[in-house]
Structure 1
């Protein structure tokens, strides 16, 4: 397995190699809500660096990990706006075993609109069809029910829970639920993901064409 780092293009987003200039867009997109009640960072391992060093420091850290060969990070860029709204990356890379993990974070205002699904599709397609990966894994905080539901929607296989193996930035112990996909499963999974993407595009088109109501 050999890693490469091209720009991956979808219908609503592109995944381009992360660079320091993406930090300003990411800081804006991934900030906590104005009242502090909502945050993407509650369950994420990257929160420790983000809280200590801000988005500039987090992007620098990801680029350092890319240089060390442990991570391959992409910025998720909206095609309409040209702005970075999150990141996704290959991590926990094991070249000899042909294993990678996918980790993703996306700004609050950009969740639920199909960006996560399309980014996962692009990453999985690249992993299995270009990189020759045998296994893709995901690990999710057991309390992060929205992310668990999103990964299960992809039909990834749940493998179990690694209990209290990481201490988060807020001092709490995190247990992680592990999921995986295998290269032998990819042909069927690709059909499933393409169906989900097509369904999402149809729903978005119907919503865009619906008449507006005024009070």
Structure 2
């Protein structure tokens, strides 16, 4: 008789994601605050938000965006960050842990947007390296999810370069601005896959 393979197990310890500052490889991720709205508003261009669910243009837009993120932090489902360049100290964008599941020890990295000068630089790679390292090595999560608009080739390529595995397309996943129906591409990285992905990211950071 063939017995089914034994399923993997993880400790049943609730996941806690407190505010933290992460720093390295030329970037600093610090807890997002309402006072960051003005500086972030200065970075906003429509092209930055071409495939996002929300377009941010004014300081009022940013204030609402940050307020929603901080509410998620209070509820324990999100932990938002300001991205800052270490060399200049200037804000470069935002990112966050989201969809945090305390019971399942999983989370998502999302709401990442960067000012145009940071595109095609080391910044996104460095941010993902810091966030993934903290998630797997300190928080001990078992799965990190990433998702993006199916049409966003640049974002999908960046996710795939990390080593995240494509899981499929969630069709008609959400209504975004102007009533556009969005299909969403889902990716994930598991704790067992992190060592290989970490080595890949470190090699990219050395080259970049």
What does residue 167 of structure 1 align with? 175
In structure 1, what is the Cα distance between the partners aligned to 2:49 and 2:121?
19
What does residue 118 of structure 1 align with? 126
| 1:27, distance to aligned residue in structure 2 (A) | 0.8
How many residues are paired up? 192
Q: TM-score if structure 1 supplies the norm length?
A: 0.85
Q: Following superposition, which runs of at least 4 residues in structure 1 exceed 4 angstroms of deviation?
A: none
| 1:46, distance to aligned residue in structure 2 (A) | 3.7
The answer to whether the aligner puts 1:80 opposite 2:59 as a matched pair is no
**Residue 178 of structure 1, aligned match among 162, 182, 186:** 186
The answer to whether the aligner puts 1:4 opposite 2:18 as a matched pair is yes
What does residue 14 of structure 1 align with? 28
Q: TM-score if structure 2 supplies the norm length?
A: 0.88
**Residue 28 of structure 1, aligned match among 18, 28, 42:** 42
The answer to whether the aligner puts 1:69 opposite 2:76 as a matched pair is yes
**Residue 144 of structure 1, aligned match among 142, 149, 152:** 152
| 1:51, distance to aligned residue in structure 2 (A) | 6.2
The answer (yes or no) to whether the contact 2:17–2:76 under 8 Å persists in 1 is: no
The answer to whether the aligner puts 1:190 opposite 2:204 as a matched pair is no
Deviation digits for residues 105-154 of structure 1 (CA, Å, limit 9, x no counterpart): 11122111111110000000000001110000101100100000100111
The answer to whether the aligner puts 1:89 opposite 2:89 as a matched pair is no
| 1:91, distance to aligned residue in structure 2 (A) | 0.6
CA RMSD of aligned residues (A): 1.4
User: What SS class does the counterpart of residue 80 from structure 1 fall into?
Assistant: coil
| 1:170, distance to aligned residue in structure 2 (A) | 2.2
In structure 1, what is the Cα distance between the partners aligned to 2:70 and 2:54?
13
| 1:166, distance to aligned residue in structure 2 (A) | 0.3
The answer (yes or no) to whether the contact 2:92–2:118 under 8 Å persists in 1 is: yes
Moved more, 23-32 or 51-60: 51-60
In structure 1, what is the Cα distance between the partners aligned to 2:177 and 2:87?
34
In structure 2, what is the Cα distance between the partners aligned to 1:155 and 1:11?
19
In structure 1, what is the Cα distance between the partners aligned to 2:183 and 2:128?
23
| 1:42, distance to aligned residue in structure 2 (A) | 2.3
In structure 1, what is the Cα distance between the partners aligned to 2:84 and 2:114?
10
Q: Which runs of 5+ in 1 are unaligned?
A: 33-38, 201-215
Q: Which runs of 5+ in 2 are unaligned?
A: 1-14
In structure 1, what is the Cα distance between the partners aligned to 2:177 and 2:76?
24
The answer (yes or no) to whether the contact 2:106–2:142 under 8 Å persists in 1 is: yes
